[in-house]
Structure 1
Amino acid sequence: MFKQILLPTDGSELSLKAIRLGVNLAKACGASVIALHAVPPVQTIAYVAELMASVEFDYAREATRFAERYLDDARAIAAQAGVPFDRVLRFGEQPYQAILETATERQCDLIVMAAHSWEGLARLLMGSETHKVVIKAAVPVLVCH
């Protein structure tokens, strides 16, 4: 049924739950999985560009450290299940864009991801990356709550 399943992760427990679900589904289908972590851009304001240059470097270094841990967690889950695994780390894009582009580039036929339960002002200000993926994806999206 599915051959290549994309598993976006932000490192949260809910995201790990979605990875486990995606890996189990991949095992049942004989599919492989690709874990993805997208590091969004540092938001900069033109008049503080020089100050932001050092912040951006620190941000990239720390974001990479966290991303490696998140992707290693996904690799361990896939290895334990005996599911073929690959990983992608993308910088400078909004997470939903990175998810959609990776799904297309890597010819994924399913995306399994978590939906966080932000409500009220947080949802209004942050938006929902999952919602954006569901609306714009060219392949099915399985949402884990």
Structure 2
Amino acid sequence: MYERILVATDGSPLSDKAVANALSLAKLCGASLVALKVVPRYPRSYLEGGVTVDNAEIKRIEAQWAEQAQAMLDKVKAEGKAVGVTVKTSIAKSDLVAEAIMSAATKQKADLIVMASHGRKGLKRLLLGSETQHVLTHSQIPVLVLR
């Protein structure tokens, strides 16, 4: 059925649920799993009067974010090993989360993308946006959304 499943995680409890379900599905199908964490780039302000941050400080902060992401992905890899699923980890550095997820899925030749949805509605959805909704409506690869 599926040979390679990509699961996007942000470390939230809801995302952990998606990881657990993706691992179960991968085990059931005999598939491998790609665990993906999208790490944003440090915001830079080019507006007059904006606070500027030293490039070395920006690199330090981005490196810290990447280390935290890798620790999160290593946990997924350990969970996969415990249940007998091969897990490959991937970190994408991008401010465009949905685009990064779809790009990684294509690059990794995933048959399925697994994501969590917070289920925001109304004004909250409009203001906060929905990366899951964007992936769901724009991906050429099937998407399994868990809530």
Unpaired runs of at least 5, structure 1: none
The one-letter code sitting in structure 2 at the alignment partner of 1:10 is D
Note if contact 1:7-1:36 (Cα within 8 Å) is conserved in structure 2: yes
Give percent identity, aligned residues only. 37
Q: What secondary structure sits across from 1:35 in the alignment? A: strand
1:1-80 pair list within 5 angstroms? 1-47=1-47, 48=50, 50-51=52-53, 53-80=55-82
Structure with a larger share of its residues in helix? 1
The one-letter code sitting in structure 2 at the alignment partner of 1:18 is A
TM-score under structure 1 length normalisation: 0.90
The one-letter code sitting in structure 1 at the alignment partner of 2:33 is V
Unpaired runs of at least 5, structure 2: none
For these two proteins, the number of residue pairs brought into alignment is: 145
User: Aligned partners of 2:55 and 2:128: how far apart in 1?
Assistant: 24
> Which string of whole-angstrom CA distances, capped at 9 and with x for unpartnered residues, describes residues 91-134 of structure 1?
13411111100110111010111112345544323211101110
Q: What secondary structure sits across from 2:73 in the alignment? A: helix
1:100 to 99, 102, 116: 102
Q: What secondary structure sits across from 1:107 in the alignment? A: coil
User: Aligned partners of 2:74 and 2:30: how far apart in 1?
Assistant: 21
The one-letter code sitting in structure 2 at the alignment partner of 1:64 is A
User: Aligned partners of 1:63 and 1:121: how far apart in 2?
Assistant: 29
CA RMSD for the aligned pairs? 1.8
Quote how far apart the aligned CAs of 1:90 are.
Answer: 1.1
